[in-house]
């Protein structure tokens, strides 16, 4: 049999329990909000780790994008690195020479405004942003020529900003690479 005092006790206990759970659920939401806000602020305040920067004003004078360093080069692990600059209104080199069936790393940047880097008949589509190095990987199955139009409007000469990628036989490329450190189609 429940007497008056017990009933009041029970009601108070139930009330306490409801209050506790209410505080707990509000607390969980508050903690999640703090975590989300901290993560957002941290993201905004710190550059992403994978981003490489470069000073577009000194590209031609110092660093990996000096003229003698542009074009295709064989790395010690047998892969090929291609360094390219986009500028109003051309790419350097104008014709990129690469071997078929070989992992290729493109490292590219812009000397002035944002340009697009698109290799026809492939899914390679990047932006060249002044101040940043765009890094992307490719492997061409077979020899052949690909057109490479700039696909970001970059000024009055945008329409005429084109380059070419020439894929040649693997052996032919590495034979050429033994003679020269940097290659483009002129070789």
List of residues contacting ligand CUA (CB under 6 A): 86, 89, 115, 150, 152-154, 158, 161
Residue 183 contacts residue 98 (beta carbons within 8 Å): no
Residue 5's H or E segment, with its range, is helix 4-45
Q: For residues 118 and 176, which CB has a smaller minimum distance to ligand CUA in the complex?
A: 118
Count Cα neighbours of 170 within 13 Å in the Cβ-side half-sphere.
11
Q: For residues 40 and 157, which CB has a smaller minimum distance to ligand CUA in the complex?
A: 157
Strands 104-110 and 162-168: unpaired
**For tokens 């590219």, what's the residue?**
108
Q: For residues 145 and 152, which CB has a smaller minimum distance to ligand CUA in the complex?
A: 152
CB of residue 81 vs ligand CUA: minimum separation in angstroms? Answer: 22
CB of residue 95 vs ligand CUA: minimum separation in angstroms? Answer: 17
- What are the residues facing 62 on neighbouring strands? none
CB of residue 123 vs ligand CUA: minimum separation in angstroms? Answer: 20
Rounded to whole angstroms, how far apart are CA atoms 152 and 114? Answer: 7
CB of residue 89 vs ligand CUA: minimum separation in angstroms? Answer: 6
Count Cα neighbours of 158 within 13 Å in the Cβ-side half-sphere.
12
Rounded to whole angstroms, how far apart are CA atoms 83 and 128? Answer: 12
Residue 164 contacts residue 147 (beta carbons within 8 Å): yes
CB of residue 161 vs ligand CUA: minimum separation in angstroms? Answer: 4
Q: For residues 150 and 183, which CB has a smaller minimum distance to ligand CUA in the complex?
A: 150
Q: For residues 104 and 108, which CB has a smaller minimum distance to ligand CUA in the complex?
A: 108
């Amino acid at each position: 049999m429940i007497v008056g005092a017990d009933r009041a006790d029970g009601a108070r206990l139930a009330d306490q329990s409801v209050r506790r759970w209410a505080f707990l659920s509000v607390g969980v939401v508050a903690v999640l909000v703090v975590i989300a806000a901290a993560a957002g602020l941290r993201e905004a305040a710190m550059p992403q780790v994978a981003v490489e920067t470069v000073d577009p004003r000194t590209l031609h004078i110092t660093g990996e994008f000096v003229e003698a360093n542009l074009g295709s080069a064989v790395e010690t692990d047998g892969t090929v690195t291609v360094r390219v600059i986009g500028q109003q209104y051309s790419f350097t080199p104008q014709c990129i020479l690469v071997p078929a069936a070989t992992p290729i790393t493109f490292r590219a940047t812009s000397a002035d405004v944002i340009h697009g880097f698109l290799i026809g008949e492939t899914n390679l589509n990047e932006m060249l942003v002044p101040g940043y190095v765009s890094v992307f990987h490719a492997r061409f199955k077979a020899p052949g020529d690909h057109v490479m139009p700039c696909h970001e409007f970059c000024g009055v000469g945008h329409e005429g900003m084109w380059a070419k990628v020439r894929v040649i036989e693997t052996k032919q490329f590495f034979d050429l690479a033994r003679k020269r450190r940097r290659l483009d189609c002129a070789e």
